[in-house]
Structure 1
Amino acid sequence: MKEGTVVVAETERLVIRALSAQDVPVLAVALADPSVMRYSLRGVLSEAQTAEFIEWCIGLYRERGYGPWALVEKDSEALAGFCGLSPELIEGTEEVQVGYRLAPQFWGRGLAAEAVAEVLVLGFQQFALPVIAAIVEPEHTASVRVLEKSGFKSFERKRFHGRNVRIYRQWPACAAPASHNGSCDPTGFPAGALESADQVGRSVDMELRSAPFGGAL
């Protein structure tokens, strides 16, 4: 690890650290890959756009203490992608969401779930967040599996920039929202508004708006 690197946390196989301008060339390769950005509202990014994204992340670190962080594989010391927390406007209310992107050579090994699990711990324990959201298109089955492995069980169906998405939420006191049966509902949602992941839910025709590099990335 380079001198001066700000390490946020470690897992069995990953170092989670702050992104920096030095990460632009490597991260730009991943974010220019159509397979990585298939479900991104922004589509593939140029190197200049990747630099803007990293600047936005650094700004979040300064303002909030958190943001999307770099994921570095311990064995290879290679930058695998990013995972972290960022603000998102959901129905006019700012929430904090978890998001991630990994380069294809790091897929299929459980690294995303490992990273998300650690980021949730940081969000709830270090930053005392009351709730963390996750936005995913249901067709993105690999990402749905990652979220559900990480404890996201219940969701709402909504429209996000013209796309059908699931909005998952997780709470520190109710880490598995699938258990919500009316007895544990810290969100104030009407009873039955949350769907468990194994239910077929109703669609809600509601547009959501994202932060500059929030769910849109």
Structure 2
Amino acid sequence: MPFAEFPDDFLTLRLHARRMSQAHLPFMIEMHANADLMESMGGTRDAAASRRYVAQNIVHWTEHGYGMYVLEDRDTGRPAGRAGLKVSTAAGRASVELAYALHPDCWGKGFAPEISRVLVGLGFRLLPVDVLGAVALRSNTASQRVMEKTGLRYVGMTGDAPESKVCYEIRRADWRKQEGL
């Protein structure tokens, strides 16, 4: 049962976010095959894994009323990446996680903090949660900087193999202060 009505699409200053659908499969296959991008996410995925990923995200939207978006650069119209909120099933982590991945062509442009701030805001406005979380491989310092710029704070590490993940969270009260609410 969905928590709330998240928009199917929305705009940020420089991005257009669209609810992930089957139409996005070719871009997801391209992203998941990109060794530079996927190095920070545990390795490349084949087309079958990308099909499962898209299908799982479509189901997530149906079951929860929110999920992953595919991002487009508003200036160029080119796909830029994916980002969204998802239910976390990992023990000891926040129940809703912020997730994002940008195509390497879009790295260093500030897109990740831009979309992350908007998603955190949507999460706290539309979901009955007091904390949102995010994780990244310990070696992914760029993602850790994005989480910190977004207001998330380091809360610990997992023992995941082959590489531990860092866990970050933002609490509703801290977000409200950050936003001046």
TM-score for both structures, normalised by structure 2: 0.86
- The root-mean-square deviation of aligned C-alpha atoms, in Å, is 2.1
Partner SS state of residue 168, structure 2: strand
The aligned residue for residue 21 of structure 1 is: 22
Work out the CA distance in 2 between the residues paired with 1:120 and 1:149: 12
- The residue type paired with residue 38 of structure 2 is M
Q: Secondary structure at 1:136's aligned position in 2?
A: strand
How many Å apart are 1:162 and its aligned residue?
4.3
Distance change >3 Å, CA 48–CA 12, structure 1 → 2: same
Contact preservation (8 Å) 2:85, 2:123? yes
User: What is the aligned partner in structure 2 of residue 32 from structure 1?
Assistant: 33
**Which of the two has higher C-alpha Rg?**
1
SS of match in other structure, 1:142: helix
What SS is found at the alignment partner of 1:12? coil
CA distance in 2, matches of 1:28, 1:53: 10
Supply the AA of the counterpart residue of 1:138: R
Q: Report the equivalent of 1:12.
A: 13
Contact 1:151-1:176 within 8 A present in 2 as well: no
1:83-138: per-residue Cα shift (whole Å, max 9, x none)? 01112233267711111111110111000111111111111102232211111223
> Quick check: 1:152–1:176 contact (8 Å CA) kept in 2?
no
What TM-score do you get using the length of structure 1 for normalisation? 0.72
Distance 1:134 1:176 in 2: 18
**How many Å separate the matches in 2 of 1:56 and 1:94?**
20
* Equivalent in the alignment of 2:153: 153
CA distance in 1, matches of 2:55, 2:18: 15
Say if 2:56 is the partner of 1:51: no
Distance 1:105 1:143, change over 3 A: same
Classify 1:65/1:131 alpha carbon distance in 2 versus 1 (closer, same or farther; 3 Å): same
Aligned twin of 2:100? 100
Shift of 1:7: 3.6
For residues 175 and 128 of structure 2, the distance between their equivalents in structure 1, rounded to whole angstroms, comes to 14
The equivalent of 1:173 in structure 2 is 173
Aligned partner letter, 1:46? D
Q: For residues 146-203 of structure 1, give each alpha carbon's deviation from its aligned partner in whole angstroms, at most 9, with x where no partner exists.
A: 11000012321231244222211111112399xxxxxxxxxxxxxxxxxxxxxxxxxx
Match of 1:164 in 2: 164
Count of aligned residue pairs for this structure pair: 171
For residues 79 and 171 of structure 1, the distance between their equivalents in structure 2, rounded to whole angstroms, comes to: 31
Residue segments in structure 2 that go unaligned for 5+ positions in a row: 1-6
How many Å separate the matches in 1 of 2:119 and 2:55?
20
